[in-house]
Amino acid sequence: MTQPNASSNVRAVERALQILGCFDDKHTERGVSDIAQAVGLHKATTHRIVTTLVSYGYLERAENGQRYRLGMRLANLGFLVMRRMDLRREAMPIMTELASRLDETCDLSVYNRGEVYFIEVVQGSRALTVAAAVGRSLPIHATASGKVILAFVPEAESEAALEEPMVAHTHRTITRPAELRRQLEVVREQGFAVDDEELELGVRAVSAPVRDREGNVIGALSVTCPTSRLPLNRVPSVGDEIRQAADAISARLGWHS
């Protein structure tokens, strides 16, 4: 059987996006012929793409069955985007204050396809800082923020992540699922996680969970710095500070402990 080439796949995506984009406040519902005319496609092609979009929830049939409207799958995606925007907006004042008080880099991350993904970073003022940037992704098993997320997501989700290969980034990286499970129990008990040179030698990080109004963990607030500025005897007190800051962000999102 002949496989479609890459260019035809891209055209199919473009056409699907054009179809979704033809719905607006003035055209909340459209029939296939109307959609075809609006985007300049043949009716048969339009019908195939519309049928696919309906099967995935991006479009749905209107009450009369002959017209279509945007589906709830798009609303769910939009909600995820809005929630992330809310998280960044509510976190920034607290992150700025925490970074200033500790004079260290503070970052906010979320879970994304088996990794932690930075959505906000506030740099400390010291000359020597740990590199961090919005958009950067890090392995979930070798980071404090990753451990926080694994500790508090549903068990099925954390177990699925533990089944993935765990690469050793340093000689201190935890690569055995049983050992990481034990550490996740400690994270749940103390309310924060520690990366003790597990991603990069000479770097230590502490992280605490951020929750939404229902109490679900949706992100992790972390402070990362050279080990010389965060000796192990300071970790409990810094951990408590970060946990309190993360709880303050959660409260701004509507969570009440």
Q: Which CATH architecture has domain 77-252?
A: 2-Layer Sandwich (3.30)
Q: Judge whether 137 and 116 are in contact, CB under 8 Å.
A: yes
CA 72, CA 214: separation in Å to the nearest integer?
21
Position 221, amino acid: L
Q: Which of 224, 223, 217 lies closest to 247 in space, CA to CA?
A: 217
In the CATH scheme, what is the code of domain 6-70? 1.10.10.10
pLDDT tens for the chain, 257 residues: list them.
Answer: 344 455 556 888 999 999 999 998 889 999 999 999 999 999 999 999 999 999 999 999 988 788 999 988 887 677 666 566 578 888 999 999 999 999 999 999 998 777 888 889 998 776 556 666 677 888 999 999 999 999 998 888 888 888 888 999 999 999 999 999 999 999 999 999 999 999 999 999 999 999 988 899 999 999 999 999 999 999 999 999 999 999 999 998 888 87
Angle subtended by helix axes 235-252 and 72-102, to nearest 10: 140
CA 74, CA 13: separation in Å to the nearest integer?
15
* pLDDT for position 66: 87
* pLDDT for position 196: 95
Q: Judge whether 19 and 35 are in contact, CB under 8 Å.
A: yes
Q: What angle do CA 216, 218, 224 make, to 5 degrees?
A: 130
Instruction: List the domain boundaries for the chain.
Output: 6-70, 77-252
What's the token pair of residue 256?
């009440």
* pLDDT for position 2: 45
Going 243 to 246 to 248 to 253, the CA torsion angle's sign is negative
* pLDDT for position 1: 39
> With left for phi above 0 and alpha for psi between -120 and 50, is residue 100 left, alpha or beta?
alpha
Q: Each residue of 154-171: b (16+ CB within 10 Å) or e?
A: eeeebeebbeeebeebee
* pLDDT for position 84: 62
